[in-house]
Structure 1
């Protein structure tokens, strides 16, 4: 499969310094000005192939959602490049970016916050269609809306209802319809089932998988639920503290994880009939993205860390299996 999206050495940091007065401090007998940065995404490189589902997993605060929003252009990267279908898009603005907004759409985590409470379903779905296709007449716009609603299981009789009149699952279906109504190629789904009941989660996942098969969609899928990730994914990227630890085929990752953090993460999956003692318990404190540790960001919690891990940042190494992993221990053969 050819590459649809390429992320190259992307950083995304947030300045939380506050006012100039807040930035001033007294050190070494001098008044100095220091900025405080949250380093949410750090030197991340990956590619997404046409037609696949690349899932991103990791603890809360590891930069998954920030990466997705940066890819979508909601955040501007501080460094690095983002290429879509061979064209660099992170530097595009205004009218030059507009064609890619129809090709790339996003489903947000919270269906209660992502839909305008002042708009009906018709208005929510009609707005992007009219904006990007001003030459369509009223009947053509309505036909597109009704067809998309039917495909995602939203009753077309609800077209004049407001968002607050629906349940969480129904709202997320409307969110999915809003993403698909422009017939995109690529969809970033940021925890689209996290706020839903388990039975509704299965329905939304099935809708997404059906839509992928019918439309040839490519997904960037973000989730905390590793069982869902195993079910829906083609490949999986594991992130820790804004850094990419491992990128592997889903079967390879779940069958033979390489990075110590990936092993610990996957060992926490509850399994029926599993033997006790399989869970890898990590020691040490979780670092803050404001003050990243030197060397490997995971070294403070890794049982295999040595002096090189504490001082040198590991590079992604591609193994014979096709897995890419950033770990000095794997490179040296001691993990």
Structure 2
């Protein structure tokens, strides 16, 4: 692991068994009753690192595994295989007790600010709960002072601390979620589409808040989003996922100016542009395959204009195309693009 790596993900695999009970699994096959399991292959051999102080954004279509990746990195989902390392220490196999010291270092901001806040708790209780939990013996005055400090830092009046989440707007509720994450002084935050549920007029305020917090608290972000214009604006590097697989990873400026993977090219061509030269929109053929039955070889080959027999039969391996860039594409490797 490089010296500036904060989080490292190695060959991460996460599958979900949605077979149901025994009766749900029984199917007729060739006139005989057989037991069939249904497995959603959400993450498939994902490997990358998040470096100290950067914002690494993960993009892709809905259902590509972005949120599953976020929750698996945070330990909310146990991986089927692979490893998650934090500052060189493996954490995916730790017990809940052994994981506690890392909980203060790693926090998460969820997409829906209302669903992620307990409606029966006041803002004071929501923000102070992690402070008390991770700081045994802290006085009530110290906890209150910390709560007021983080509320002010996210633009909320501490005098509203006795209110409940339903008394706030969506943007204010997301500020509460960010305050809760900052309350334990983390150094790594996973933001899972933190502005997707907000009005456009509020999104810029929350983005600016996250960027200001990153600078003032020396934070590192894993930022999950489907909004490519936002990703281009805030990211240090960008990872592109398709059907649970990592297609491309590159510095934001490089990826948006010169995408290498055919899926990345198609994804970026769909960004609306005002003025200047209009991009040619790349229309992908076919439908997105189901993660229950992944295609053989490259998962993108059924929609790729460059696909050949190798693409249909051999899974591509992410190969370096520069100091900070990776591409998993046979066509790019062979110079067919």
Do Structure 1 and Structure 2 share a fold, with TM-score over 0.5? yes
Q: Which runs of 5+ in 1 are unaligned?
A: none
Q: What SS is found at the alignment partner of 2:64? A: coil
Residue in 2 that maps onto 1:175:
177
1:92 to 66, 79, 94: 94
Structure-1-length-normalised TM-score? 0.98
Following the alignment from structure 1 to structure 2, what is the Cα–Cα distance between the partners of residues 40 and 146?
40
Using the TM superposition, give the Cα deviation of residue 197 of structure 1 relative to its aligned residue in structure 2, in angstroms.
1.5
Residue in 2 that maps onto 1:75:
77
Residue in 2 that maps onto 1:124:
126
> Per-residue CA shift, 1:164-204, capped at 9, x if unaligned?
00000000000000010000010000000011112211111
1:209 to 208, 211, 214: 211
Using the TM superposition, give the Cα deviation of residue 286 of structure 1 relative to its aligned residue in structure 2, in angstroms.
1.0
Residue in 1 that maps onto 2:271:
269
1:329 to 318, 328, 331: 331
State yes or no: 1:3 paired with 2:1. no
Q: What SS is found at the alignment partner of 1:41? A: strand
1:189 to 187, 191, 197: 191
Q: Which runs of 5+ in 2 are unaligned?
A: none
Following the alignment from structure 1 to structure 2, what is the Cα–Cα distance between the partners of residues 277 and 333?
23
Using the TM superposition, give the Cα deviation of residue 320 of structure 1 relative to its aligned residue in structure 2, in angstroms.
3.1
1:287 to 286, 289, 303: 289
State yes or no: 1:198 paired with 2:200. yes
Using the TM superposition, give the Cα deviation of residue 95 of structure 1 relative to its aligned residue in structure 2, in angstroms.
1.3
Q: What is the RMSD of the two structures over their aligned residues, measured on CA atoms?
A: 1.1
Query: 1:234-253 maps to which residues of 2 (within 5 A)?
Result: 234-253=236-255
Query: 1:21-170 maps to which residues of 2 (within 5 A)?
Result: 21-170=23-172
Following the alignment from structure 1 to structure 2, what is the Cα–Cα distance between the partners of residues 163 and 152?
15
Following the alignment from structure 1 to structure 2, what is the Cα–Cα distance between the partners of residues 226 and 75?
26
Following the alignment from structure 2 to structure 1, what is the Cα–Cα distance between the partners of residues 271 and 35?
45
Q: What SS is found at the alignment partner of 1:319? A: strand
Any conservation in 1 of the 2:9–2:49 contact (CA below 8 Å)? yes
| Worse-superposed segment, 273-282 or 221-230 | 273-282
The runs of at least 4 consecutive aligned structure 1 residues that moved more than 2 Å come to: 25-32, 274-277
Q: What SS is found at the alignment partner of 2:13? A: strand
> Per-residue CA shift, 1:221-249, capped at 9, x if unaligned?
01111110011100000000000000000
| Worse-superposed segment, 29-38 or 168-177 | 29-38
Any conservation in 1 of the 2:269–2:279 contact (CA below 8 Å)? no
Following the alignment from structure 2 to structure 1, what is the Cα–Cα distance between the partners of residues 175 and 324?
36
> Per-residue CA shift, 1:50-109, capped at 9, x if unaligned?
000000000000000000000000000001000011100000012101011111000000
Structure-2-length-normalised TM-score? 0.97
Following the alignment from structure 1 to structure 2, what is the Cα–Cα distance between the partners of residues 121 and 236?
34
